[in-house]
């Protein structure tokens, strides 16, 4: 895209360990004029931005949103039109349950130049930091990513039979998800694992079965 004024970068901050930010993400953060960051973006990454840079917490914590999605998009557009380099710092990867698609659409509609900088998505961080691969030649040749935010909206007949099923945002709704999976044919003794704060020093892991 071409245009006058500033530019917006949608940067994936990774799953939690600040050292998992990409080199490109770091380079752009170091020249940012404004950083709009999510609850899951590592706080240490904010220190990479220049001291005068504006830092705006935009929330995205479950049931606690500092700003609406529309307001976040409007803030990015307004600052870019002032000629600023704007970083939208998002946990994980912008295009995997990160609403990066919605924000890219809003920027394109407003005629704002933007760039997507991928991040290490949370499942990859979980696999590395728990030692449990998402695929294995002898056990799983397919992976399905599912949002646990809206359980009735998922086609569990299809999603439930994936080799490896990765459920984002599913901790509070997991009892309902487990019932759906078993009801649609998944074995109750299927190995299951729950991970919170993946890749961070306070990572918590619980292992068991679907039942």
Active site residues: 38, 60, 169
3-state secondary structure of 13: coil
Q: Measured between alpha carbons, how far is 39 from 25 in angstroms, rounded to an integer?
A: 18
Q: Measured between alpha carbons, how far is 97 from 62 in angstroms, rounded to an integer?
A: 13
What beta strand segments (E) does the chain contain? Answer: 7-12, 34-38, 54-59, 85-90, 114-117, 143-147, 164-168, 191-196, 204-209
Cβ distance 110 to 33 under 8 Å? no
């Amino acid at each position: 895209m071409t245009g006058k004024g500033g530019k917006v970068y949608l940067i994936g901050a990774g799953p939690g360990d600040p050292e998992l930010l990409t080199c490109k993400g770091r380079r752009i953060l170091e020249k940012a004029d404004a950083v709009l960051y999510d609850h899951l973006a590592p706080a240490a990454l904010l220190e990479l931005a220049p001291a005068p840079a504006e830092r705006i917490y935009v929330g995205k914590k479950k049931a606690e949103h500092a700003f609406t999605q529309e307001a976040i998009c409007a803030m990015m557009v307004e600052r870019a039109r002032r000629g600023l380099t704007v970083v939208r710092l998002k946990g994980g990867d912008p295009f995997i349950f990160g609403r990066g698609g919605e924000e890219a659409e809003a920027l394109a509609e407003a005629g704002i130049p933007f760039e997507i900088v991928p991040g290490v998505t949370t499942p990859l961080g979980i696999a590395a930091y728990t030692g449990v691969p998402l695929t294995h030649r002898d056990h799983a040749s397919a992976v399905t990513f599912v949002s646990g935010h809206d359980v009735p909206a998922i086609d569990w007949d299809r999603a439930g039979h994936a080799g490896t099923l990765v459920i984002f945002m599913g901790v509070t709704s997991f009892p309902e998800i487990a019932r759906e999976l078993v009801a649609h044919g998944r074995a109750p003794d299927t190995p299951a694992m729950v991970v919170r704060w993946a890749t961070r020093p306070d990572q918590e892991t619980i292992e068991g079965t679907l039942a």
